[in-house]
Amino acid sequence: MSESEQRFGEYVVVRRHEQGHVAELVLDRPKAMNAVSTDMAVSLGAACEALAADRGVRVTVLTSSNDRAFCVGADLKERNSFSDADLVRQRPTARGAYTGVLELPMPTVAAVHGFALGGGFELALSCDVIVADATAVVGLPEVSVGVIPGGGGTQLLPRRVGAARAAELVFTARRVEAGEARELGLVDVLAEDARTEALALAARIAVNSPVGLRNAKKVMRLGQGLDLRAGLEVEDAAWRATAFSGDRAEGVAAFNEKRKPAWPGE
Positions marked active-site: 74, 119, 122, 142
In order, the DSSP letters of the chain are --EEEEEETTTEEEEEEGGGTEEEEEE--GGGTT-B-HHHHHHHHHHHHHHHT-TT--EEEEEES-SSEEE--B-HHHHHT--HHHHHHHHHHHHHHHHHHHT-SS-EEEEE-SEEETHHHHHHHTSSEEEE-TT-EEE--GGGGT----SSHHHHHHHHH-HHHHHHHHHH---EEHHHHHHHTSSSEE-SSHHHHHHHHHHHHHTS-HHHHHHHHHHHHHHTTS-HHHHHHHHHHHHHHHHTSHHHHHHHHHHHTTS-------
> Phi, psi (5° rounding) for residue 81?
-90, -5
69/115 Cα distance (integer angstroms): 4
